[in-house]
Amino acid sequence: MKKEFVSLILIASTFLFWGCKKGNVVTSDNWDLSGKIVFNVGYYNIYLLDLSSSSLFLTTLATGGEPRVNPQGTSIVYDANSTKGHLEIYSISVTGGTATDLSNNNAPNSDSWPDWSPDGNTIAFNRVYYPSYKEALCVMGKDGSNLHVLTDTSSLAIAVMPRWSPDGNKIAFYGQTSFNPSTDYSLYIMAPDGSHQVLLDQVGSDFVDVLPRWSPDGQKIAYGKANGGLYVFNVNSSASQEITLDSGTAVSPSGFSWLSNDSLVCANMNSADTSYGVYLISISHSFANKLLFNEFKTIPTTGVSPDKKFISVFGQRTDDTSLTLYIIQSDGTNLRKLKDTGLTGSITDNYYSQWIK
């Protein structure tokens, strides 16, 4: 108890030290913040920020991209350049240590976009075959065992960005029936064994560099289109809904996280000054949204705490000297600036960070 009391005092003192800046309110009340946030800056470094530490300790875990933490919160998969000169899937403990090459493929194939199954036993990813540049979805065990291909490049020339549904019964992905000549990309779902492939919606001729993401109940999928919009597909009704702001402006497809089955946290460019704002948007009332805060120089990345009480935002506002962590309550109140990370550059991983227990 004494140790917890001292930690709370240190956290409160740290808040006061960082002080108030434009748009931020720092008060002396304590917050029940815990857990860790994993995020990617550029392609080169994967970071872990420990919120339970009084100093909000920042650790560099690995060099690579697309980090995903398993449901148990113990291991991270990511893609990185191997000694053979191409991308492979690696895993590393959230406590650091030596990384393990899981996919261990043969050159010149390249593996990327890993994602854990909900039970943490299987990893889906996509594999590029050279020199054809066709791409297929694969799965393997958490230790790299039983690796096999799910999609056939003769019927789906391109299959990328696999994402498991919360119940583990489906995988969402983007696909293209023909690579040359080129056809439009489409949003698909399929069974975990590659069967029952269903085309949900066409997303356009240009590659959409944003991950499809399932709602917590697995009934909706948020995804981007080549026109720059953000859409939500209802799996039950087979209806697609474009997400817009009150002004009717389309939302950027980058920088969004599910807060609940009916709400998204989205980043969007302000056309007047090309800065970015963060919005809380209701899906059932697509024009009902709330600006949480704005004035970001680059697209910020958002995350949601495991208990759904808080939203984390990484980004660099006009008065920040580097990438900074902000926390706001999930109802859009009580914004806190928690930590200036000292890091510069763009937050990648499709502007997504993962908050774990």
Note the pLDDT tens digit of each residue in 254-290.
778 899 999 999 888 776 777 888 999 888 875 568 8
Peptide bond just before 181 cis, omega within 30 deg: yes
Q: Identify the pLDDT of residue 174.
A: 96
| Residue 71 pLDDT class (50, 70, 90 cuts) | very high
| Residue 25 pLDDT class (50, 70, 90 cuts) | very low
Contact 322, 316 (CB under 8 A): yes
| Residue 20 pLDDT class (50, 70, 90 cuts) | very low
Tell me which residue of 68, 94, 70 sits closest to 79, measured CA to CA: 68
Q: How far apart are CA 255 and CA 276, in angstroms?
A: 10
| Residue 235 pLDDT class (50, 70, 90 cuts) | very high
Contact 341, 325 (CB under 8 A): yes
Average pLDDT of the residues in 308-316: 90
Give the count of alpha carbons within 13 A of 7, CB side only. 14
Instruction: Tell me the percentage of the chain whose pLDDT exceeds 70.
Output: 87
Give the Cβ contact number of residue 47 at 10 Å.
21
Q: Is the pLDDT of residue 308 over 50?
A: yes
Q: Which amino acid type is present at position 40?
A: N
Angle at the Cα of 30 (from 29 to 34), degrees rounded to 5? 155
Contact 339, 37 (CB under 8 A): no
Average pLDDT of the residues in 297-305: 87
Q: How far apart are CA 335 and CA 27, in angstroms?
A: 10
Note the pLDDT tens digit of each residue in 207-224.
887 889 999 999 999 998
Give the count of alpha carbons within 13 A of 300, CB side only. 33
Q: Report the largest interatomic distance among the alpha carbons of the chain, rounded to a whole angstrom.
A: 68
One-character DSSP codes across 227-293: TS-EEEEETTTTEEEEEB-TTSPBPPSSSEEEEETTEEEEEEE-TTTS-EEEEEEESSSTT-EEEEE
Q: How far apart are CA 13 and CA 180, in angstroms?
A: 60
